[in-house]
């Protein structure tokens, strides 16, 4: 353990850069603790504070810049990939949409401090068309604030950090085991929270074939697209005739929906999370014929059915140009 600590001191700035870059790319690496330790070591002159700050800022720009550019090129496909590898796939895009829509470019600053959202915000900014100059400006400011905060915490608690480092050097293998246990507990808690969420949205789904049969049979089901405005800007496809009602507005709009027709809700999110949440809210309002579409928009497209393309002019005022691209 003493050799490991000596390695940390000798290559502290490089470790800050590597840990920050890994975290920004999406690896489950806790970059903030590295910065806190680096801030504490900087007080003792073992690490250069300006060098650690610069390393963290550059790593942020490189990692987030890769995702920003990927979002520019591939749009919703990148967001789907990130959600699949996220520990919170059902909420990562939805939270990022809320940040982007409410705060614009400054959302990149707030996102740094929200786990899960921090990785999704850059590609979403790219997919929504933020300019490269604006991204670099907000990203640099966000990285500087984020890095300075955690380095500052290390600077303030330098004495305590040094005591912890000394303790770790004496505990040896016990310290390593303790750290592994902490990580295991953290992952177990995240998994437990995810299982609780999935249990909460467990309900009967309607399959694509059944929806198609309802439409062809003249049952006229009401199809509702519960994706957020930002998601519909990024992925402009929708099921023909679908009514756009965001999840956050579904309760307010419930009174205007028919009770004598099938209500089919869809999203483009893992486990149909938003659609299931919306269906549960409608059921609580007395609309018991509401069901989420199994597989969402992707399942509809994969079955070879038609979609409409709506071309939004802006998030605040959307105009639609619909085109049936498949039958």
pLDDT tens, residue by residue, 56-67: 999 999 999 999
Average pLDDT over residues 3-20: 72
Average pLDDT over residues 13-31: 86
Between 72 and 116, the higher pLDDT residue: 72
Q: Report the C-alpha gap between 107 and 100 in whole angstroms.
A: 6
The widest CA-to-CA distance across the chain, in whole angstroms, is: 76
The partner residues of 293 in beta bridges, in order of sequence, read 206
| 266 pLDDT above the threshold of 50 | yes
**Per-residue pLDDT at 94:** 61
Q: Report the C-alpha gap between 13 and 195 in whole angstroms.
A: 38
- How would you label 75-90 residue by residue, b for 16+ Cβ within 10 Å and e otherwise? bbebbbebbeebebbb
| 113 pLDDT above the threshold of 60 | yes
Whether the full predicted model's pTM is greater than 0.75, yes or no, is no
- Compute φ and ψ for 105, nearest 5 degrees: -65, -30
Q: Report the C-alpha gap between 141 and 105 in whole angstroms.
A: 11
Q: Give the best-scoring range by mean pLDDT among 44-48, 172-176, 200-204, 205-209.
A: 205-209
When computed from its CA atoms, the radius of gyration of the chain, rounded to whole angstroms, is 24
| 29 pLDDT above the threshold of 70 | yes
Q: Report the C-alpha gap between 106 and 137 in whole angstroms.
A: 10
Between 217 and 321, the higher pLDDT residue: 217
Residue 233 pLDDT class (50, 70, 90 cuts): confident
**Per-residue pLDDT at 74:** 83
Average pLDDT over residues 210-228: 92
Of the candidates 81, 86, 94, the one whose C-alpha atom is nearest the C-alpha of residue 115 is: 86
Q: What percentage of residues in the chain have a pLDDT greater than 90?
A: 34
Between 242 and 175, the higher pLDDT residue: 242
Residue 324 pLDDT class (50, 70, 90 cuts): very low
């Amino acid at each position: 353990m003493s050799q490991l600590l000596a390695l940390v001191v000798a290559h502290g700035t490089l470790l800050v850069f590597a840990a920050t870059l890994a975290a920004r790319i999406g690896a489950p690496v806790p970059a903030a603790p590295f910065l806190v330790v680096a801030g504490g070591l900087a007080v003792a002159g073992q690490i250069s504070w300006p060098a650690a700050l610069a390393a963290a800022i550059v790593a942020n720009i490189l990692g987030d810049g890769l995702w920003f550019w990927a979002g520019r090129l591939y749009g919703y496909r990148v967001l789907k990939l990130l959600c699949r590898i996220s520990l919170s796939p059902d909420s990562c895009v939805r939270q990022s949409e809320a940040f982007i829509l409410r705060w614009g470019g400054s959302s990149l600053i707030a996102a740094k401090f929200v786990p899960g959202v921090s990785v999704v915000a850059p590609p979403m900014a790219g997919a929504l068309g933020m300019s490269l100059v604006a991204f670099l400006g907000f990203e640099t400011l966000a990285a500087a604030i984020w890095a300075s905060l955690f380095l500052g915490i290390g600077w303030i608690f330098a004495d305590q950090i040094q005591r912890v480092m000394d303790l770790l050097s004496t505990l040896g293998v016990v310290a390593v085991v303790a750290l592994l246990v902490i990580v295991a507990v953290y992952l177990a808690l995240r998994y437990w929270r995810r299982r609780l969420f999935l249990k909460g949205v467990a309900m009967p789904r309607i399959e694509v074939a059944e929806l198609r049969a309802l439409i062809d049979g003249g049952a006229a089901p009401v199809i509702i697209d519960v994706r957020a405005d930002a998601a519909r800007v990024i992925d402009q496809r929708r099921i023909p005739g679908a009514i756009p009602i965001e999840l956050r507005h579904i309760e307010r709009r419930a009174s205007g929906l028919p009770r004598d027709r099938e209500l089919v809700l869809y999203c483009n999110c893992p486990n149909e999370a938003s659609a299931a949440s919306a269906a549960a809210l409608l059921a609580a309002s007395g609309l018991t014929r509401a069901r989420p579409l199994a597989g969402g928009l992707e399942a509809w497209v994969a079955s070879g059915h038609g979609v409409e393309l709506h071309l939004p002019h802006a998030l605040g005022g959307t105009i639609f140009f619909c085109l049936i691209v498949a039958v």
